[in-house]
């Protein structure tokens, strides 16, 4: 258990961060904090992927000084996945932020419970 | 290579290009283009289906110049082609049926945006159905979520904004879990293509290595996709999202979007992890239990719903429960029943939504039950459609829903002994509950006495497009109910092509 734990310390950190982001996204009532949680969750996955693809002592997978030997570079696929994932999470964050702006303009609150109460009051009127 | 093999890729790209081209267009032009594209996609998927059936085996289409195990691939078998055909057809019917509602509820300068979203949604649905690469699957799952969220929030009422927020939060939690599951899966197998990952998986299981990470991967991916498709305890966003968006969105979301995640899950079960490993991991039992609870609780909530849209939305939760129950039976017959029910629900739920919209149009756009009294006489076609949809959901012979329930019941008899009795009992209870709320509504809309005064002499006719869409869905229901044998054979051969 001990040596395994130390060898995978990046992955463990990533999973803990994932848990932090996940609970924030699920349980927090404040929209902005939810979005922060979402970003922590996504970033944790990228840390996981990047740590997984890293090989000690090798270079980033960009051809440098004409060296074409694959042994000189780390696995490029996880890096590619991280880049794709970042694009996805940027667009999702933008969508969530635009939703938040619309909700705030309509109900003047960022708190989801508060928003629900105001919506019900508005419907009763 | 046969020319038809290009069609899956063509249809995905065509939808995306149409979405981009719609950006500068006016609403009417975007509408025409989207309808053309969706029709073309239906025809191309049908051609793919016929081609696959004529050769009797699936084919793989390499995207880009890198071969497996590095490149990206599309794979089309009988089941994929069938699902793509049905989904595109249902999409066409939902759009046609709700067209006047779209033009009435969406701001005029935003109508072309609605069609961009539908194009994107169709392309991501097709990509999820056809893809052979896990990460591509994830990317299109996210595109699907974004497009679906846009389709909910485009109607600018407070309710639909809150519905979209709830939908988004639940969906993002689901896709976060799915993504970390994929990352771990890639970590232990070293592949993203489904076949290569499966080969590595079989080797791992034979060597007995990484058993705990494998179990974590299976559970995280399953839970993630189950959350996204709205399995019982994660359903809270569904009634709002379906009940308050424009009617085409409700039909497409309930009929297609939530199903696409289940299809991805089935593909991962069969093509990545292997169904025996899944059965041994016992995760199907979890799906089975929550499916059963969902079947009952969804129906109970539907009985208590205050308006007709919410009732239909709650009924969706029960139907998702049926599908997961079928998967949870852990037999091939159960899987066939689940896929058949996916198709049944995909044609029946849009029919019910469109019918409910027709009925509420005839009742001054109100949707509470007392306003709908006698509305079937004010809008006869919508009344017939609601009748057919309800009877199908309850499971009356000659309609698609009956075959679903028959398949579920026969599959239950072949499942492990501990599941037989409980499945049959819950199936019976759920059917009675279904009958309670659907037939109650049917009786109400066919009761002329006591209809609200102001609607006494109202007569509404559906527009030609809506009438065609509704008739097409009614017809499909009868076709699936009366000619189910070829369809079940097709599904069975499609599942056979998975491995």
Q: Where are the domains of chain A?
A: 2-124
Asked if omega into B459 is within 30° of 0 (cis), the reply is: no
Query: Where would I find the beta strands (DSSP E) of chain A?
Result: none
- In chain B, where the domains are located: 282-499
- State what percent of residues in chain B have pLDDT above 90: 70
Residue B175 and residue B260 in contact, taking contact as beta carbons nearer than 8 Å: no
Distance between CA B202 and CA B184 in Å, rounded? 16
pLDDT at B432: 94
Contact call for A22 and B173, based on CB within 8 A: yes
Q: Is the pLDDT of residue A56 over 70?
A: yes
CA separation (Å) from B274 to B70, B128, B202, B268, B498? 21, 19, 8, 8, 10
Q: What is the pLDDT of residue A1?
A: 57
Flag whether pLDDT at B85 surpasses 70: yes
How many angstroms separate the CA of residue B66 from the nearest CA in chain A? 13
Give the model's confidence band at B476: pLDDT under 50 very low, under 70 low, under 90 confident, else very high.
Answer: very high
Interface A:B, Cβ pairs < 8 A:
80
Q: Does B187 touch chain A (CB under 8 A)?
A: yes
Name the band, by pLDDT with cuts 50, 70 and 90, for residue B458.
Answer: confident
Select from B136, B160, B179 the residue whose CB has the most chain A CBs within 10 Å, as the one to mutate to test that interface. B179
Q: What digits encode the pLDDT tens for the residues B27-45?
A: 899 999 999 999 999 999 9
Tens digit of pLDDT for each residue in B283-311? 999 999 999 999 999 999 999 988 899 99
Whether pLDDT at B83 is above 90: yes
Helix axes A76-107, B134-153, angle to 10 degrees: 10
Confidence of residue A2 (pLDDT cuts 50, 70, 90): low
Chain A CB contacts of B179 under 8 Å are 42, 45, 85
pLDDT tens per residue, range B88-114: 999 999 999 999 888 888 888 889 899
pLDDT confidence tier of residue B87, bands split at 50, 70 and 90: very high
At residue B73, what are phi and psi to the nearest 5 degrees?
-135, 155
Nearest to A48 among B138, B145, B183 (CB): B183
Distances (CA, A) of B117 to A82, B143, B204, B356: 26, 10, 42, 24
Model pLDDT for residues B242-260, shown as the tens digit of each residue: 888 899 999 999 999 999 9
Alpha-carbon gap, residue B488 to B405, rounded angstroms: 13
Per-residue confidence (pLDDT) for residue B340, from 0 to 100 = 95
* B435 has pLDDT over 80: yes
**Which of B66, B165, B191, B216 best tests the A interface by mutation, with the highest count of A CBs <10 A?**
B165
Nearest-CA distance B284 → chain A (Å): 24
The whole-chain average pLDDT of chain B stands at 91
Instruction: Say if residues B292 and B426 touch (Cβ distance below 8 Å).
Output: yes
Q: What is the mean pLDDT of residues B374-397?
A: 92
Cβ separation B149–A95 shorter than 8 A: yes
pLDDT at B451 over 80: no
ipTM of predicted complex = 0.94
Compute the distance between CA of residue A81 and CA of residue B11 in angstroms, rounded to an integer. Answer: 25
From chain A, the residues in CB contact with B139 under 8 A are: 84, 88
Note the CATH architecture for domain A2-124. Answer: Orthogonal Bundle (1.10)
Model confidence at B124: pLDDT above 60: yes
Least confident of B250-259, B326-335, B361-370: B361-370
pLDDT score of B456 more than 80: no
Q: To the nearest 10°, the Cα dihedral for B21, B25, B28, B34?
A: 10
């Amino acid at each position: 258990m001990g040596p395994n734990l130390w060898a995978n310390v990046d992955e463990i950190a990533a999973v803990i961060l994932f848990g932090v982001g996940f609970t924030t996204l699920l349980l927090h009532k404040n929209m902005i904090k939810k979005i922060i949680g979402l970003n922590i969750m996504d970033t944790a996955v990228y840390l996981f992927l990047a740590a997984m693809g890293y090989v000690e002592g090798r270079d980033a997978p960009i051809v440098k000084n004409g060296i074409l030997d694959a042994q000189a570079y780390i696995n490029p696929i996880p890096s590619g996945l991280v880049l794709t994932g970042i694009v996805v999470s940027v667009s999702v964050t933008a969508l969530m932020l635009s939703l938040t702006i619309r909700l705030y303009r309509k109900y003047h609150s960022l708190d989801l419970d508060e928003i629900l109460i105001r919506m019900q009051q508005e419907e009763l009127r | 290579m046969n020319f038809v093999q290009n069609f899956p890729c063509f249809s995905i790209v065509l939808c995306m290009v149409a979405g981009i081209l719609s950006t500068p267009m006016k609403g009417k032009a975007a509408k025409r283009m989207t309808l053309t594209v969706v029709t073309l996609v239906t025809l191309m998927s049908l051609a793919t289906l016929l081609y696959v059936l004529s050769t009797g085996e699936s084919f793989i289409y390499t995207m880009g110049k890198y071969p497996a195990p590095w490149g990206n691939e599309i794979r089309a078998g009988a089941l994929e082609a069938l699902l793509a055909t049905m989904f595109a057809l249902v999409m066409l019917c939902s759009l046609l049926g709700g067209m006047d509602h779209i033009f009435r509820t969406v701001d005029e300068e935003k109508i072309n945006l609605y069609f961009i979203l539908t194009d994107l949604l169709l392309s991501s649905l097709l990509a999820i159905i056809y893809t052979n690469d896990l990460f591509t699957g994830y990317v299109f799952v996210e595109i699907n979520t974004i497009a679906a969220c846009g389709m909910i929030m485009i109607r600018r009422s407070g309710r639909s904004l809150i519905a979209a927020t709830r939908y988004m939060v639940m969906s993002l939690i689901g896709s976060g879990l799915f993504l970390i599951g994929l990352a771990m899966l890639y970590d232990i197998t070293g592949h993203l293509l489904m076949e290569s990952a499966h080969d590595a998986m079989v080797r791992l299981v034979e060597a007995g290595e990484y058993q705990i990470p494998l179990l974590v991967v299976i559970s995280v991916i399953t839970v993630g996709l189950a959350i996204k498709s709205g399995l019982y305890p994660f359903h809270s966003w569904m009634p709002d999202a379906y009940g308050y968006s424009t009617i085409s969105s409700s039909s497409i979301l309930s009929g297609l979007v939530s199903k696409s995640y289940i299809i991805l899950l089935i593909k991962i079960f069969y093509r990545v992890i292997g169904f025996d490993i899944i059965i041994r991991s016992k995760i199907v039992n979890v799906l089975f239990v929550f499916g059963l609870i969902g079947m009952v609780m969804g129906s109970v909530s539907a009985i208590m719903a205050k308006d007709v849209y919410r009732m239909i939305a709650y009924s969706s939760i029960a139907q998702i429960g049926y599908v997961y129950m079928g998967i949870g039976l852990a037999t091939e017959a159960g899987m066939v029943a689940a896929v058949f029910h996916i198709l049944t629900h995909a044609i029946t739920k849009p029919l019910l939504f469109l019918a409910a919209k027709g009925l509420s149009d005839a009742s001054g756009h109100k949707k509470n039950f007392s306003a709908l009294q006698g509305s079937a006489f004010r809008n006869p076609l919508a009344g017939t459609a609601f009748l057919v949809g309800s009877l199908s959901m309850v499971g009356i012979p000659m309609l698609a829903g009956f075959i679903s329930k028959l398949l579920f019941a026969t599959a239950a008899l072949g499942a492990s002994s501990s599941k037989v009795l409980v499945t049959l009992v819950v199936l019976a209870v759920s059917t009675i509950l279904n009958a309670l709320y659907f037939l109650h509504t049917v009786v109400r809309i066919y009761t002329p006495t006591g209809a609200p005064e102001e609607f006494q002499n109202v007569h509404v006719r559906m527009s030609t497009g809506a009438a065609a869409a509704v008739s097409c869905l009614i017809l499909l229901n009868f076709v699936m109910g009366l000619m189910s044998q070829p369809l079940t054979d097709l599904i069975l051969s499609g599942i056979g092509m998975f491995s």
